[in-house]
Structure 1
Amino acid sequence: MTKISKSIVNTFDAVQYSKNEETVAYSKVTWRLIPFLFICYIVAYLDRTSISFAQMQMQNDLGFSAAIYGLGAGIFFIGYSLFEVPSNMLMQRIGARKTLLRIMVLWGIVATGMMFVTTPMQFYVMRFLLGVFEAGFFPGVIYFLTKWYPGSRRGAVLSMFMLGMPISGVLGGPIAGWALNSLDGVNGWEGWQWLFFIEGLPAILLGLMVYWILCDEPSQAKWLTERERALIIRNVKVDQANNPPEHGHSMLSALKDSRVYILSLSYFTFISGIYAIGFWLPAMLKNAGVIDVFQIGLYSMIPFGISAIGMVLISRSSDKRLERRWHLALCAFIGAASLSAITMFSADLTMSLIVMTVATTAIYTLLPLFWSITSAYFTGTVAAAGSIALINSLGLIGGMASPSIIGWVKTTTGSMSNGLFAISAMLVLGGIVLLVGIKAKDIRERKLAK
């Protein structure tokens, strides 16, 4: 710790807080921020992946092949990647509230507009625009939470926020099945058109609510007492002082940091696995013998629901031990093995559900573990928002690669097995790259002294 860091710690330690005060303060913060952000992330992921169910009707109604669907699913991430860093750097200037309001309202409009698609080109353009307007949401929230929580609390908080991904699967399946079955033909609209309308509208409404629910930083939180605001600010400052980054503080220094690209490569492989599940799970269930779209929606609740529980438990284990790397690598290896095993039981619904559930749990848990590592590495640097966005945007290219690879393989061979093997190999690579390229000392985290 530097002399300056010691001075900061000593200054804040002059004011003492009880354990109960800290518990109450963080309870207020968590209840204020996390449920709302959690709901926003559910809606974001629903709008991003709603085509995984819609495609079961769109392919027949519009004549889209699996390759067209795979490319359209993936092209979202081109727009997302191109505009993510500018979005987050703008957020540092104008604040989280204005940024999230802009992002959610615009992506909600485009997500709803997907109902009017009739040609492959329109499909591609709308998916690209959805990526452009959603860019910055996820890394923006990650950066926003670093202003409120020290590293020792961040893993659990990130896992609660990122539960939105599996929970969107729990809710999205039945909603999609109901819309595709029950609303098909209502008002002259196809079921898939109703699905886009129903799942796009909430983003607009939530975006308008952002301005009244969130504040840009703890010092502006009128719903906390003055002492509670000071405690939250103190813990973040002490955490930054206890764990000063050994790398450069500027965006230019971050661009020269090899670990930025190591993290991006690992994230690329993890995202490929996440979206192999997110975009193709309904098709996997259909291959296992489930024909009715509503039943597919109900069965999809099983892997997504159990993965939500697993994500919380594994993240708590990581927080308790302040160990991230091996937790993450083991999840990557288990996810890879389970994803490959799906191909062995494609005709057996029970075994398919078991291996899908293990794969979904392991792969989805990679997300909070990875961002705990990344946010710890960049916390306290002026380049934090831009660096986090850069890693996310580079890594999300995997979101295009994964569905495109599987879609092309399925169209070419009639089976997605070789595509799943390729994604499994990528997950193993990601786990190894992170273990070798990111050392424990790079992500030092300490529990705050009471």
Structure 2
Amino acid sequence: MSETTATSKELLARPVLKSAISKAARRLMPMLVILYVVSFLDRTNVGFAEAALGADKGVSAAAFALGAGIFFIGYALFEIPSNLLLKKVGAKIWLARIAITWGIVSACFAFVQGETSFVILRFLLGVTEAGLFPGVIMYLAEWFPNKVRVQMFAIFYLAQPFSQMIGNPLSGWLINIGDQVPGLRGWQVMFFVEGLLAVLAGIAAFFFLINGPAKAKFLNSEEKYALKEVMALEDTIKDETGPRGILAAMRNGRVWYFTVIYFCLQVAVYGVTFFLPQQVSSLTGQKVGLAVGLLIAVPWFFGIFSCYFIGKAADTVAKRRKFGTVLFISTGLCIFGSAWAGTNHQPVLGMIFITLAVCSFLAVGPVVWSYPTAFLAGSAAAAGIGLINSLGNLGGFVAPILRTAVNEATQSPTGSMGVYALGVLPFVAAAMMFATRRFKNKADDLLD
């Protein structure tokens, strides 16, 4: 055992460090989860308005698919610049700015007049939200040692199921009551109210977030020192073994490797999420509204447990590789199963497969992010994490277009062929995750 490894493990075992990590998690994680809850809600609530936008404003299925996906073009273009600015001005200001501006754009969806304004606003939503997710990933990598980082990522990822559990019934409820507001439609009320929630979350973030352990008044001097010491040691290892600087990170083969994995994951996530209200409506025969919103909450409820417990268990390199491989395979199989259930009119089986797919792709996300944050630091982290998230999230652009194109090409009456197409890429990611056993990283010694 090397001197560096022994020292690192001794630091991680110290009670004062455990106390610092616990306090940091209690202070920071709730606010970060709230930010992601609102962001995930504002980027996916469009699924509740699909039929209404078509009926009220003439937004065709093709224009809806383009608008649903073009969000990720704006997101990708401004992701790395946003991350670099966050590194310069600090998370406290920048994450608050992101939430406030995307909330304003989200509220403006209440005033959509047709296909053009819908697509433009979806693009602007991506531009304004760019940097939130990778910024938080980078922020957590500055606060929490690699040994517990997947657990923190998993807690952050809990925002997705919470968003869907709370947000889907909320969206359905707002649509129902909004139809009773004179001069407005339910979907307009939904967009406006949920956009304002993001503005309020951004204002709160400015007061709750802290730019690094050194400025944390909730830590005593010993806790600050212990946390800064272990994080500095990990950064030293990253500097020794990982790319240095922005250009080096963007040329790094491992960065591109995990970009492909993350792209495959996002195709599955958004291929399911964007069309979930319509898929559940088709399975159950219920009109999109409160009842469908409550049913959609079920998969995300179970996703909370899979995300949290797998994140907590994945504390070694071998476990992360094993969990990642199995969860990607499970995602693909369950997406196939949900398509089969839809074709064969099996609503109960369909809901079971959807639930298992959600549990799988939620839990695998934190595992994927544990790899790049183990070898990227400083400006290389800002660029590398931004690149992985921006290009990986183009899967969200490809997913609805791929699903619609396959359904039209095959003339699938139930839309199942498009779902089958989405289920292929998780198997590619599973093979790539399994192959990470060939990667050797000095920081991995801190986990085993």
Question: If the length of structure 2 is used for normalisation, what is the TM-score?
Answer: 0.93
Q: Go from structure 1 to structure 2 and tell me whether the alpha carbon gap of 1:409 and 1:181 turns closer, same or farther (over 3 Å shift).
A: farther
The equivalent of 1:188 in structure 2 is: 183
Structure 2 residue 210 is the aligned partner of structure 1 residue 215: yes
Cα shift at 1:93: 1.1
Pick one of 316, 319, 324 that aligns with 1:323.
319
Give the letter for the 1:393 counterpart.
S
The equivalent of 2:424 in structure 1 is: 425
The equivalent of 2:122 in structure 1 is: 127
Which deviates the most, 407-416 or 107-116? 407-416
Q: Go from structure 1 to structure 2 and tell me whether the alpha carbon gap of 1:19 and 1:294 turns closer, same or farther (over 3 Å shift).
A: same
Q: Go from structure 1 to structure 2 and tell me whether the alpha carbon gap of 1:62 and 1:421 turns closer, same or farther (over 3 Å shift).
A: same
Cα shift at 1:320: 5.8
Q: Go from structure 1 to structure 2 and tell me whether the alpha carbon gap of 1:448 and 1:222 turns closer, same or farther (over 3 Å shift).
A: farther
Structure 2 residue 310 is the aligned partner of structure 1 residue 314: yes
Whole-angstrom distance in 1 between the partners of 2:12 and 2:426? 44
Cα shift at 1:439: 3.0
| Conservation of the 8 A alpha-carbon contact between 1:328 and 1:431 | yes
> Where in structure 2 are there 5+ consecutive unaligned residues?
none
Whole-angstrom distance in 2 between the partners of 1:254 and 1:2? 27
Q: What is the SS of the residue equivalent to 1:52?
A: helix
Pick one of 231, 236, 239 that aligns with 2:231.
236
Give the letter for the 1:368 counterpart.
P
Misfit runs of 4+, over 4 Å: 16-19, 241-245, 446-449
The equivalent of 1:158 in structure 2 is: 153
| Conservation of the 8 A alpha-carbon contact between 1:67 and 1:411 | no
Cα shift at 1:138: 0.3
Whole-angstrom distance in 1 between the partners of 2:59 and 2:179? 19
The equivalent of 1:416 in structure 2 is: 415
Deviations 1:47-93 (A, max 9, x none): 00010112132222223232221111000000000000001011111
| Conservation of the 8 A alpha-carbon contact between 1:65 and 1:411 | no
Whole-angstrom distance in 1 between the partners of 2:103 and 2:352? 34
Q: State percent identity of aligned pairs.
A: 32
Give the letter for the 2:215 counterpart.
Q
Q: Go from structure 1 to structure 2 and tell me whether the alpha carbon gap of 1:227 and 1:55 turns closer, same or farther (over 3 Å shift).
A: same
After TM superposition, list the pairs within 5 Å mapping 1:60-75 onto structure 2: 60-75=55-70
The equivalent of 1:283 in structure 2 is: 278
> Where in structure 1 are there 5+ consecutive unaligned residues?
none
The equivalent of 2:362 in structure 1 is: 364
Give the letter for the 1:122 counterpart.
S
Q: What is the SS of the residue equivalent to 2:182?
A: helix
The equivalent of 1:256 in structure 2 is: 251
Q: What is the SS of the residue equivalent to 1:441?
A: coil
| Conservation of the 8 A alpha-carbon contact between 2:68 and 2:274 | yes
Whole-angstrom distance in 2 between the partners of 1:126 and 1:169? 22
Whole-angstrom distance in 2 between the partners of 1:398 and 1:438? 25
Which deviates the most, 88-97 or 53-62? 53-62
Cα shift at 1:444: 4.1
After TM superposition, list the pairs within 5 Å mapping 1:10-25 onto structure 2: 19-25=14-20
Whole-angstrom distance in 1 between the partners of 2:426 and 2:244? 30
After TM superposition, list the pairs within 5 Å mapping 1:388-399 onto structure 2: 388-399=385-396
Cα shift at 1:350: 0.9
Q: What is the SS of the residue equivalent to 1:390?
A: helix
Deviations 1:249-289 (A, max 9, x none): 12222222112211111111100001012111111111102
Whole-angstrom distance in 2 between the partners of 1:418 and 1:18? 51
Whole-angstrom distance in 1 between the partners of 2:446 and 2:238? 11
Deviations 1:376-411 (A, max 9, x none): 131x35411111001111111111000121233445
Which deviates the most, 429-438 or 63-72? 429-438
Which deviates the most, 310-319 or 59-68? 59-68
Give the letter for the 2:405 counterpart.
W
Which deviates the most, 52-61 or 80-89? 52-61
Give the letter for the 1:435 counterpart.
F
Whole-angstrom distance in 2 between the partners of 1:183 and 1:272? 32
The equivalent of 1:434 in structure 2 is: 433
Whole-angstrom distance in 1 between the partners of 2:295 and 2:445? 41
Structure 2 residue 136 is the aligned partner of structure 1 residue 141: yes
Cα root mean square deviation, aligned:
2.4
Whole-angstrom distance in 2 between the partners of 1:45 and 1:286? 21
Q: Go from structure 1 to structure 2 and tell me whether the alpha carbon gap of 1:245 and 1:345 turns closer, same or farther (over 3 Å shift).
A: farther
Q: What is the SS of the residue equivalent to 2:444?
A: coil
After TM superposition, list the pairs within 5 Å mapping 1:377-392 onto structure 2: 377-378=375-376, 380-392=377-389
Which deviates the most, 71-80 or 234-243? 234-243
Cα shift at 1:440: 4.5
Q: What is the SS of the residue equivalent to 1:118?
A: coil
Deviations 1:203-262 (A, max 9, x none): 111111222111111101112111111111112123344666523212222222112211
Whole-angstrom distance in 1 between the partners of 2:240 and 2:189? 49
Whole-angstrom distance in 2 between the partners of 1:44 and 1:188? 28
Whole-angstrom distance in 1 between the partners of 2:12 and 2:274? 47
Whole-angstrom distance in 2 between the partners of 1:127 and 1:374? 29
| Conservation of the 8 A alpha-carbon contact between 1:152 and 1:322 | no
The equivalent of 1:79 in structure 2 is: 74
Structure 2 residue 335 is the aligned partner of structure 1 residue 339: yes
Which deviates the most, 29-38 or 226-235? 226-235
Matched residues, number:
443
Give the letter for the 2:142 counterpart.
K
| Conservation of the 8 A alpha-carbon contact between 1:147 and 1:217 | yes
Q: Go from structure 1 to structure 2 and tell me whether the alpha carbon gap of 1:18 and 1:85 turns closer, same or farther (over 3 Å shift).
A: closer
| Conservation of the 8 A alpha-carbon contact between 1:70 and 1:405 | no
Give the letter for the 2:282 counterpart.
N
Whole-angstrom distance in 2 between the partners of 1:241 and 1:290? 57
Question: If the length of structure 1 is used for normalisation, what is the TM-score?
Answer: 0.92
Give the letter for the 2:386 counterpart.
A
Q: Go from structure 1 to structure 2 and tell me whether the alpha carbon gap of 1:411 and 1:17 turns closer, same or farther (over 3 Å shift).
A: closer
